Amino acid sequence: MTAAGAFDDWTRTVQAYVEQALERALPAAGAEPRKLHEAMRYTVLGGGKRVRPLLVFAAGALFGADAGALARVAAAVEMIHVYSLVHDDMPCMDDDDLRRGKPTLHVAYDEATALLAGDALQAQAFAVLSEAGDIAPARQLAMVRLLALAAGPAGMCGGQAIDLDSVGQSLTLDQLEQMHQLKTGALLRAAVVLGALAGAELPAHELAALETYSNAIGLAFQVVDDVLDATADSATLGKTAGKDAAANKPTYVSILGLEPSRELAEKLRCEAHQALAPFGDKALRLRELADLIVQRKA
């Protein structure tokens, strides 16, 4: 089998396994309050590239983490990610109608249900991550705290707040980078580190290497998002294309231009690879995920 074939097989296997974990972690569709449960399931199940779960499993492979533990970690991180999309899409935020090729939750249901389903998903993420299992309790507690900090005002919510304030502003490249390191970077970093911690306590130098990798792919992810937003169509993206320019939001493309943005993404991909050097062959999947993030078309 080719390397690409093996990677594709691995991603499909992880995606299917995570889908099952999400299915188990979500409240049953038939139970009351039915509308809330259905809304949670509508937005979480059956869609998305599952980049964060793939990072969780790839990082877990470095430290021999148990697949069941990784599935719970991946489900928790993905539920935080999905709730943030649901709330970001609401009329008072980005007001978007299309996500993962489907109507957004407040369009398919209503705003109150979208607000509540997002809130419930965040709570459920912490319920799943704090479920007793095989991880040493003190380490698992540190993992809960790491996810909470990545999701909160010093992480994802903080980045989203800076993003809101930046509409119509001219940001420097540093300010743009800082915003994305919080808005999307914090949760991607959490996915990598939590995956690793599901396997073992990390020595400081290995934690630092994983953080360098995570920062590089986090930025690359956003640079590529901006390139795709400027060049792809909505059908390919599964979400509204060109909306950053329409909203007068600063992007890598608007600050650097298209070709330099592509070059930056490639440079970040190389940085990510270099950071993984100490892990040798065990980091194969993390390297391939860096490639996937930079080379994706949607």
Binder to its own copies among 130, 206, 231, 256 (CB under 8 A)? 130
For residues 22-54, one letter each, b for 16 or more C-beta atoms within 10 angstroms of the residue's C-beta and e for the rest, the string is beebbbeeeeeeeebbbbbbbbbeeebebbbbb
Binder to its own copies among 10, 17, 63, 126 (CB under 8 A)? 126
Scan residues 190-209 and list those touching its own copies (CB under 8 A).
Answer: none
Backbone angles phi, psi at 65, to 5 degrees: -70, 150
Scan residues 35-64 and list those touching its own copies (CB under 8 A).
Answer: 35-37, 40
Distance of alpha carbon 225 from alpha carbon 297, whole angstroms? 9
Cβ closer to its own copies: 36 or 207? Answer: 36
Binder to its own copies among 148, 230, 232, 255 (CB under 8 A)? 148
Q: How many CA atoms lie within 13 A of 298 on its CB side?
A: 14
Binder to its own copies among 120, 171, 188, 272 (CB under 8 A)? 120
Q: Residue 177 class from Cβ within 10 Å (0-12 exposed, 13-18 middle, 19+ buried)?
A: middle
CB of 263 to its own copies, least distance (A): 30
Cβ closer to its own copies: 187 or 227? Answer: 187
CB of 162 to its own copies, least distance (A): 5
What are the contacts of 149-155 at 24+ separation with CB within 8 A? 150/80, 150/186, 150/187, 150/189, 150/190, 151/80, 151/84, 151/122, 151/125, 151/186, 151/187, 151/190, 154/182, 154/186, 155/182, 155/186, 155/187, 155/190
Cβ closer to its own copies: 35 or 267? Answer: 35
CB of 37 to its own copies, least distance (A): 6
> According to the binding rule CB under 8 A, does residue 68 interact with its own copies?
no
Scan residues 16-35 and list those touching its own copies (CB under 8 A).
Answer: 27, 32-33, 35
CB of 56 to its own copies, least distance (A): 18
- Interacting stretch for its own copies, rule CB under 8 A, among 4-12, 86-94, 209-217, 254-262? 86-94
Pair of tokens at residue 70: 């990784």
CB of 144 to its own copies, least distance (A): 4
Distance of alpha carbon 288 from alpha carbon 7, whole angstroms? 7
Looking up tokens 């078309």 gives 297
Pair of tokens at residue 260: 């330099």
> According to the binding rule CB under 8 A, does residue 246 interact with its own copies?
no
Omega prior to 250 cis, within 30 of 0: no
Using CB under 8 A, list all residues that contact its own copies. Answer: 27, 32-33, 35-37, 40, 83-84, 87, 90, 92-93, 110-113, 115-116, 118-120, 122-127, 130-132, 136-138, 140-142, 144-145, 147-149, 151-158, 160-162, 164-165
